[in-house]
Amino acid sequence: MSLPLIQWIEPDELKAARVVPLFKKSDKTKVENYRPVSILAVFSKLFERVVYDQVESYLNEHYLLYNFQSGFITGFSTDTCLIHLSDFIQF
């Protein structure tokens, strides 16, 4: 007997965003000089942060991340990753 899958129900308000053009550079009359930016509901952003914090905490507590994981980890960047790689190759 298999267990039923839990379905995630997300209110439509959390899925909706207002997309506005944000000017990048150069000529303001050209469409390619703008990029779309999504304006989300405040609750949606807070909810996203709470879930992120819980998932990050779980992954850290159970040592499920690679020691040299650089993406999406506070205090690490692609520079950190490249430094580790460079040190590994040199030694």
Place of tokens 């992120």: 52
37-90 pLDDT per residue, tens? 988 888 888 888 898 899 889 988 998 887 777 777 777 777 878 888 888 898
Query: What is the 8-class DSSP label of residue 31?
Result: G
* DSSP-assigned beta bridge partners for residue 37: 20
Asked if the model's pLDDT at residue 8 lies above 80, the reply is no
Q: In the beta sheet, which residues pair with residue 50? A: none
Q: Where are the domains of the chain?
A: 12-90
Q: Which residue has better confidence, 3 or 27? A: 27
- Enter the pTM of the model: 0.56
